[in-house]
Structures are given as C-alpha cells and as structure tokens.
Amino acid sequence: MFKRTVWLMPTFLLSFLSAQVSNVDFATQVNPIFQAGAAGCAAGGCHGTAGNFFILGTDATANYNALVNVLNSSNSLDYIEPGNTAASYLYLKITGDQSISGSRMPLGNSSYFDDHADQLETIRVWIEEGALPEAAPTEGTLTLDLTGMTPHLGQLFELRVVDQSDGSEVGQVRVDSIDTLDFSVSVPGLAIGGSYNVDFYADLNGNGVYDAPGADHAWRLVLTNVQGDTTLAFAHNTDNFVDIAWPGTVGIVSATGGLPEIFALQQNYPNPFNPSTQIRYDLPRAVPVTLTVYDLLGREVVVLVDARQSAGSYTVRWNGRNRQGKRVGTGVYLYRIQAGPLTDYQRMVLLR
C-alpha cells in the first residue's frame, strides 16, 4: 500500500513525487496465467531442458520471489527484469524470441500464448510497469491527525475534501463534540493523481454552524498529485485562518418573496440520485432544527443539520456518505426533520 505522512502548516502546498505504480496485480492476474494447467509453468515448465524445467508452485509470493530479479544460471538474463521485456528470459521464452535458444515455452504447448494473446499482454504490461507484486490503488484515503486542539474542546468540528478540478465534494466528516486534544479523522475516495482542498473548522462561537474567522477557527490544506493513502499532520494554530465558505446549509428566501407560512419538509431532488441530492424545508419562525438520514433498519447514517435556524426556506445537500465520510450503498433511505412543532420524514433512493 502506498502511504505518505506529511507534516505541514495549513497554507503550504503539498506535492508528492510520482511513485512507480502498476495497474496489474501479480497474485490475481499474472500468477494464475502461470498456473494454467498443462499449458502453464506449474505443470509443463516454462524454460530449461529435460529434467531442468522451471516449475512454479501454487504460492504467488514464492513464485514472485523466484522470478523477479533472479538471474538464470545458464545466461546473463533475469527470469523477469522489471521494466524490460527484452531482457526478461521467461518472457522471451514464452514469446518464442529467436535470440533465445531452445524450444518455445510452455513445454508441450508452445502455441499457448498465440491462442491467449490477452494473457501474454497482461504479462507484458506487468513487466513494463515495473513487475510490482501488487497493483497500485485507484483511490486513496486521507487521514488528518490533529494535535493541540485545546481551545476547541466540547465544540463542533467539521471537515470536507473538495476536488480542485470541478469543485465536487469527495467526503465530509462531522465530530459533534471534540473530546480530546489530539484526534484523527479520515475521508476515503481520493482519486490517484487528483488534487484537493482539505477544508475544516471548529465552531468556536458555539452556534452550531460555520462562520468565517474570527467567529470560528477555519483552515485549508492543499493536497496535490495524490498517490495513495495519505496522512496529514496538523498542529492547532491561529496564524493561518482561511474563510472556507462552508456550504453545509444554504438559506434561500421562498419563491413567494416572503417567509414560509408553515413548517414543511419537501421531497428531495433529484430522486433517485447519484452521487448527491438536495433536501429542502421551510421554517416560518426561528427554531432548533435536526435533520437526520437513516437506513431502513432505523440506524442513523448522518446528521445533516443540528442547529437553531432563523425563519426561511433552506436547502441541504447530502453526498451519499455517512458521518465517517464513507460512501453508503444503493438503497432506500429516510430523512427525518425535527423543527419546532414539525416532525416529518420522506424517502429517497440512492442508486450507485
């Protein structure tokens, strides 16, 4: 697994060097080719002379260690030389390269890879991409380690990760009450090679919603060229505040030009949806509001709103993730509002 740990101040730009990665996994994609019955190296041998065939066992790790960067005792070539098919003895034998003496392999079925060109291509790509033991991840998880959060004990904390390319939200984490000076939060789903803003704040004024600094404390970290699971280390400071314009709940005056006359919860739109949907509700006067998403078993998925709000019509976006920032699966979900005298729910359908 590719992992980086970076210590930084909030306004620094993170840029990671590209690591050599592969899209082909040895254990699940390459090794089974070598195990293909009588045609494969396990049964028939893939090079050598009678009584001296290279026989592979069934253990992928042992096979990998026996192939990669291992010198063939009969010549100057490795069985597999990472990044170079022209110098990989085993590859030359199974392709019938004329520069290598002896019969084309596998033994007894020399045309096997003529009939299975897709398998030969898999082996070629694996070697050219570095003959790594496992495929590179297609996504990474961001973990933020926070320390010294003394001023914010007991306060709300929220974090969101935003794709710089299109402004879409990858995930969001909410901690209702910070109960320790040092803690960590994680958001999965970062695309390899992607660049992201990591926005987070602590609710210093205690009103339950984001306000720009200095009412609240807010920061932004910038992450570029993600190469896998990434850990950022953040030490609390008051020198690098950023107005992150938290989108959470957006108040919108009703279409009539005045305030709503009744408490109401509207059907979400779009519905069904993927990856996100909007939920609208109306408040004719200021009241405490709680808007929560549940699964059909009645288990809480995420709290979207938990704050006192002024009169108006509000729209809240749900990104199809739970409170840990993880994607939830296809299914029917309920969203329930408690606002003054109103307790109501609606159904919505998420299609992945």
Say whether pLDDT at 148 is over 80. Answer: yes
Q: Express as a percent the part of the chain with pLDDT over 90.
A: 32
Which CATH number describes the domain made up of 249-350?
A: 2.60.40.4070
SS (H, E, C) the chain: CCEEEEECCCCCEEECCCCCCCCCCHHHHHHHHHCCHHHCCCCCCCCCCCCCCCCCCCCHHHHHHHHECCECCCCCCECECCCCHHHEHHHHHHHCCCCCCCCCCCCCCCCHHHHCHHHHHHHHHHHHCCCCCCCCCCEEEEEEEEECCHHHCCCCEEEEEEECCCCCEEEEEEECCCCCCCEEEEEEEEECCCCEEEEEEECCCCCCCCCCCCCCEEEEEEEECCCCEEEEEEECCCCCCCCCCCCCEEEECCCCCCCCCCCEECCCECCCECCCEEEEEEECCCEEEEEEEEECCCCEEEEEEEEEECCEEEEEEECCECCCCCECCCEEEEEEEEECCEEEEEEEEECC
pLDDT in tens, 272-310: 998 888 888 988 888 898 999 999 999 999 988 887 777
- 48, two tokens: 């050598």
Say whether pLDDT at 171 is over 50. Answer: yes
pLDDT for 250 equals 37
pLDDT in tens, 112-131: 888 888 888 999 999 998 98
Q: Which residue shows structure tokens 């107005």?
A: 243
pTM, two decimals, is 0.47
Evaluate whether 3-15+137-235 and 249-350 have a shared fold.
yes
Reported confidence tier of residue 1, pLDDT bands at 50, 70, 90:
very low
**Between these two residues, 256 and 216, which has the higher pLDDT value?**
216
pLDDT for 49 equals 41
Domain residue limits, the chain: 3-15+137-235, 26-128, 249-350
pLDDT for 100 equals 80
- Domain 3-15+137-235: give its CATH architecture: Sandwich (2.60)
